[in-house]
Chains A and B, each alone.
Chain A
Amino acid sequence: MKIQSTNQGDIHVLELSGELDYHSSPELREKLTELTVKQASKILVNLSGVDYMDSSGIATFVEAFQKAKRYQGRLILAALTPTVRGVFEIAKLDSIFEITSTVAEAEKCLGAKA
């Protein structure tokens, strides 16, 4: 899995590509922890390039989501592939997370500032 980290104004963007499983999720956990430790208020995870995800990936997002919630931060998951969305649905987590169809929509939700 590849993780590209950028800033779009005041939004921290993580763009993921490849497979998110028990092997690769620690790397994502590390990146998300870096952001939640410094209490990043707006985190956008672009999942358009992720074609596989297992429960380790879900657990990583649940952990980051809970941490961000504690300091009133927001974490939005954007542009999920049908396979990844299916995993959230089986876990019944699609209603818990903030999920948007596109990255642009997520940016709008987070009130992107240049």
Chain B
Amino acid sequence: MEKRFELNASSEVLSPFRKELRQILSHAGWKKKTTEEILLAVDEALTNIIRHAYQGGPGKMTVSVVAADDRIEIVLEDWGKKFDPTQVPPPELPRQKPGGLGVHFIRTIMDEMIYEGQGSGGNRLRLIKRKNKI
């Protein structure tokens, strides 16, 4: 199953998008706990696009979801300022200051986080979660 979403880079889109992704994951047979974790990881990646790539300004972001039997692969693209989450150092836990946990959540939940950049500017991030790791 393959689905592509085009979203405005605005925090308002996060909740409706999660609803759609929750349905896809449920239909693909993911357990509730893992579904909620994957939603969190993707939500954090989208929040990073809104906050860091577009810095709160207008812009577009796309999410491509490929739900295979053994895994889910999610590719997020934007055309904002370069932001490579794989370069964000791991936080010291438990973190006593607000913020800095989003990338930690993505790293902890997903099996792979691959930053591919965009030739023409912007960012492309690939997130993979395998079912045998449930």
Contact = CB atoms under 8 A, between A and B. Distances in A.
Given A52-B39, A91-B95, 15 more contacts: A22-B14, A23-B14, A54-B44, A55-B44, A55-B47, A59-B98, A66-B96, A66-B98, A83-B36, A87-B40, A91-B93, A91-B94, A91-B101, A95-B94, A96-B94
B107 to A, nearest CB: 10
Chain A: interface size category: 20 to 34
The 7 residue pairs across chains A and B that have the minimum distance between CB atoms: A23-B11, A59-B98, A55-B101, A92-B93, A63-B98, A62-B98, A92-B94
Contact of B43 (A54, A82, A90): A54
Contacts of B20: none
Contacts of B39: 52
B97 interface: yes
Interface residues of B, number: 28
A60 B98 contact: yes
A73 to B, nearest CB: 17
A70 B84 CA distance: 35
Interface string A34-54: 000000000000000000101
A62 B93 CA distance: 13
A110 interface: no
**Looking at B15, B51, B101, B104, which has the most chain A CB atoms within 10 Å of its CB?**
B101
Interface of A: 19, 21-23, 52, 54-56, 58-60, 62-63, 66, 82-83, 86-87, 90-93, 95-96
Contacts of A86: 33, 36-37
Contacts of B102: 54-55
B39 to A, nearest CB: 7
B9 to A, nearest CB: 11
Contacts of A23: 11-12, 14-15
Contact of A52 (B18, B33, B98, B101): B18
A56 B47 contact: yes
Contacts of B11: 21-23
A81 B37 CA distance: 14
Contact of A62 (B14, B18, B47, B95): B95
Interface string B92-113: 0111111101101100110000
A91 B44 CA distance: 13
